[in-house]
Structure 1
Amino acid sequence: MEKKYWVPSIERTDMVLKKIGQSPNQLRLIDLSKELEINKSSLFSLLNTLENLKWITKEGDTYNLGPALGALSAAYLNQFNILQSFHKEAGFSVAVINEHIQLGILEEEDVIYLGKMEGDSRVRLVTNPGMRFPAYASSIGKIQLIGHTKEELQKRFETSDWEQKTPNTISSLDELYENVQLAKRDGYAIENEEASLGFHCVAAPIYNFENKIIAGVSFTMMKSSWGTKKDAAKDEILNLAFRLSQIAGYSGHMKQAVNKEIE
């Protein structure tokens, strides 16, 4: 593995966590120091930091993995399951509309795109899996904000510079709040050339068993297709979001009726 940009402190942390995980409630500071060949003074600071962050816990003189790691593991598995389900289900929706579909989650003021399923269109999206993009400039971001009050939106976007991706991009908190309230009313979010000129999107939310929004899915298409496909795309993205929500344990009903089978 290339170590040109390696961070030794993170490598030591990884070694410590793996060692504790292999021998829970058995190793003391001196044991870890000897087995990992880490100076006791440096190791003490590292362990103290990990303990305060709840990555590990201390019982007497020995250590266990902490609840923070459990939360991260649960988040990873949840994300993994969403991604697997998306790749399984999105193909059916692409077959209906024949346009690109994306999956994304909300993190701070951005959307992180996790997955993509392509239709026959040869156009390239401005976003791809692994990319971050301002939530206010995307339908997949706006739909995941529908549970936010205006005060919560202000806090989330307090450091945002409201970068204008196009002349149509949302440029203020008031405008975002108005868009989010519209999406909340309708149950889906529309993006009209806000992320890239010539493209339109429609997104729907994915809920989990706690009735909380955990992700969003969206269709993206060119302006030339939007006029004829927007209604069908809206229904199908709601259909897909509902199927994914059911897989995630959601037992409610989507706000918009999508088809007789779901109803």
Structure 2
Amino acid sequence: MSNKQPDSVSSVQKTMAIFETLCSEKEIGISDLAQRLMMSKSTVYRFLQTMKTLGYVSQEGETERYALTLKLFEVGAGALQNVDIIDYANIEMSKISEETMEALHLGALDDDSIIYIHKIDSKYKLSMQSRIGKRNPLYSTAIGKVLLCEMSEEDVRERLKDVVFTQSTPKTHKNIDELLTELPVVKEQGYGEDNEEQEVGLRCIAVPVYDRFNQVVAGLSISLPTMRFTESKKEEFIKYLHESAAEISHRIGCKSYPKFS
């Protein structure tokens, strides 16, 4: 049996190889391109002319130098519009749920609050009460802290300037200054905690989810009653959360999820 690939498959591979090489160069000549790809100049020329006709490649004047147009970016941007972070998050959150049986939440920034955009309930009978679409403060939640931790102090103050720091529990931060002392720690360690700050008897740990611009766009958290919390569980949960958040971030375009020690 022959191992030779069909011409159509070979053509696709050659096209993608040309695209990838052009991505790394502002412009390049046919001779250099052919040499890099180990193709004949006539083959490269034929492919480039087709790509030029379709609008993906431009030719610099009458020279043999070619460059990518923005059409490929437009196609990629169109695909990104269809990326649903919730679909990817649900897969990862379901995995953590199977391992821990605890409640999982995905939250995003909404003005001066967080809003839960997805959740998986705890498998235990004793669990927290929450719902998709519910809003909670940024200053007293683990997700809120990871959403704020990479902002400048000025931006945090501006975002929370009209917020009244309601003392939900004795452990709730009383003001912006108290919160700001914690945020650098959250950024450094790569996770935020709610240690009975939003609700007495409830612990929560959250990690950041990054987009293609390496901006924090969501927080992924696990919540459990203090009666089920231990330090060994905490380390285990952080590991699960970082692994899943890294995968979600990768799926929505993040090239390099930060390495947290």
Q: Give the TM-score of the pair, scaled to structure 2.
A: 0.66
**Letter aligned with residue 248 of structure 2:** L
**Letter aligned with residue 150 of structure 1:** E
Contact 2:188/2:260 (8 A) holds in 1:
no
- Equivalence for 1:217: 220
Query: Which of 91, 105, 109 is matched with 1:106 structurally?
Result: 109
Number of equivalent positions: 182
Cα separation, 2, equivalents of 1:111 and 1:122:
26
Cα separation, 1, equivalents of 2:130 and 2:221:
12
Q: Give the TM-score of the pair, scaled to structure 1.
A: 0.65
Contact 2:210/2:257 (8 A) holds in 1:
no
- 2:241 paired with 1:237: yes
Query: Which of 249, 253, 258 is matched with 1:249 structurally?
Result: 253
Cα separation, 2, equivalents of 1:103 and 1:201:
12
- 2:176 paired with 1:184: no
Q: Give how far 1:126 is off.
A: 4.1
SS at match of 2:150: coil
Q: Give how far 1:223 is off.
A: 0.6
SS at match of 1:215: strand
Cα separation, 2, equivalents of 1:83 and 1:136:
24
Q: Give how far 1:229 is off.
A: 1.5
Cα separation, 2, equivalents of 1:127 and 1:81:
22
Cα separation, 1, equivalents of 2:222 and 2:155:
27
- Equivalence for 2:139: 136
- Equivalence for 2:148: 145
SS at match of 2:214: coil
- Equivalence for 1:4: none
Contact 2:211/2:252 (8 A) holds in 1:
yes
Cα separation, 2, equivalents of 1:121 and 1:179:
31
Contact 2:108/2:115 (8 A) holds in 1:
yes
- Equivalence for 1:57: none
Q: Give how far 1:241 is off.
A: 0.8
Contact 1:113/1:129 (8 A) holds in 2:
yes
**Letter aligned with residue 103 of structure 2:** H
Distance 1:212 1:186, change over 3 A: same
- 2:200 paired with 1:197: yes
Contact 1:139/1:203 (8 A) holds in 2:
yes
Cα separation, 2, equivalents of 1:147 and 1:112:
18
User: Which structure 2 residues correspond to residues 1-263 of structure 1 after superposition, within 5 A?
Assistant: 81-227=84-230, 228-256=232-260
SS at match of 1:137: coil
Q: Give how far 1:127 is off.
A: 3.0
Runs ≥4 residues deviating over 3 A: none
SS at match of 2:258: coil
Cα separation, 2, equivalents of 1:189 and 1:111:
14
